[in-house]
Amino acid sequence: MENTIGGLGEFALIRRVTGRFPATGDVILGPGDDAAVVAAPDGRTVATTDLLVEGRHFRRDWSTARDVGHRAVAQNYADVVAMGARPTGLLIGFAAPADLPLEWAEEFTLGVRDECAVAGGAVVGGDTVGSTVLTVAITALGDLQGRAPVRRDGARPGDVVAYCGHLGLSAAGLALLTAGTDGPAACLDEYRRPSPPYAAGPEAARLGATAMLDVSDGLAQDLGHVCRASGVGIDLDPGLLRPAPELVEAVRILGGGPARASAFMVSGGEDHALAATFPEGTDLPDHWHRIGRVLPAAEGERHVTVAGRVPERTGWDHFPGE
């Protein structure tokens, strides 16, 4: 058992993770007591949680342990910055079979460390438990720095819709892996290690974003949440949905054409780009790409359309077969 996770003990893995982080101004009291103490300079704390279940969210034959560590941080901190906040802390729940190689767990913690070095924040605690299914649960915290949170219910008719980050690459990467086909590294890398535009969340808040969210389940599906919360419709301009060259190449390898590239951008997921609405006339930096407009909508019409038509697929299904 000495080379497996089962030989570590309940808190040993978490101690190893937290030991890899230097002290930060956000962490008043780190691991060692029943709970950590994290500063909330703003007086409010943004909090979110997410699960990664082996076989559902990742496969060890497709992703390394470091990949999973990067992904665990990225998909949670993307939600924090989508509120306009700055990442401050993470708590990790790690449930694993007792025979999971210790090397895998160690590599996972290095992925967590490396992604936190990009995003900010630090691991402040967590727990380890035995399980038949390898599962990672993350709780992420953030600081609004005195700004109002950017919610989903603030979009207004006339606002422009824009995104920052990548759209479609991760979904194409998953399709390539599923097909057993190699393809552009950018697509495979984005699936294995999403790269949210962390700085763009607080930036959008400063620019006056009226609504914002993380694109995790697909652009159309996620913007649909904005439509329902804000009581509006959103129409995307297909002429502004310009696929990256790597996405075009991946689609060619998969035997598709331009329509499939657009479908990956509209209905794919797990790129963890940010999508936001801004008042007309907002001077957006070049890394924010305008793709549509917010429209008035009656009850029953609060959905996303592409050139006036509802897309056939809208995104990720959390409960397939149900």
Q: Is 127 among the annotated ligand-binding positions?
A: yes
Structure confidence at residue 7 (pLDDT): 61
Q: Is 104 among the annotated ligand-binding positions?
A: no
Q: Is 49 among the annotated ligand-binding positions?
A: yes
Q: Is 286 among the annotated ligand-binding positions?
A: no
Q: Is 88 among the annotated ligand-binding positions?
A: no
Q: Is 63 among the annotated ligand-binding positions?
A: no
Which residue in 84, 96, 104 sits closest to 137, CA to CA? 96
Structure confidence at residue 300 (pLDDT): 79
Q: Is 106 among the annotated ligand-binding positions?
A: no
How many beta carbons lie within 10 A of that of residue 72, not counting itself?
A: 26
User: What angle, rounded to 10 degrees, do the helices at 169-178 and 245-253 form?
Assistant: 20
What are the Cα distances from residue 3, in Å, to 7, 31, 106, 148? 7, 24, 11, 48
Which residues share a beta bridge with 232?
Answer: 296
User: Which pair of tokens denotes residue 66?
Assistant: 């470091």
Q: Is 281 among the annotated ligand-binding positions?
A: no
Contact 91, 142 (CB under 8 A): no
- Please give the model's pTM, rounded to 2 decimal places: 0.91
Q: Is 303 among the annotated ligand-binding positions?
A: no
Q: Is 153 among the annotated ligand-binding positions?
A: no
CATH architecture of 160-306: Alpha-Beta Complex (3.90)
Contact 309, 259 (CB under 8 A): no
Alpha helices by DSSP H, listed for 179-244, are: 185-192, 200-207, 219-230
Which residue in 104, 197, 99, 204 sits closest to 147, CA to CA? 204
Q: Is 62 among the annotated ligand-binding positions?
A: no
Structure confidence at residue 322 (pLDDT): 38
CA 195 to centroid of chain Cα atoms: 8
Contact 124, 140 (CB under 8 A): no
Which residue in 148, 86, 153 sits closest to 122, CA to CA? 86
Q: Is 79 among the annotated ligand-binding positions?
A: yes
Q: Is 50 among the annotated ligand-binding positions?
A: yes
The beta strand positions in the chain, using DSSP E, are 27-29, 37-38, 46-53, 86-96, 122-130, 135-143, 160-164, 211-215, 232-236, 273-278, 289-296, 304-306
- Specify the CATH number of the domain 10-143: 3.30.1330.10
Structure confidence at residue 30 (pLDDT): 79
The stretches in the chain having pLDDT less than 70 are 1-2, 6-24, 313-322
Domain residue ranges of the chain, discontinuous segments joined by +: 10-143, 160-306
Q: Is 34 among the annotated ligand-binding positions?
A: yes
DSSP 148: P
Contact 6, 99 (CB under 8 A): yes
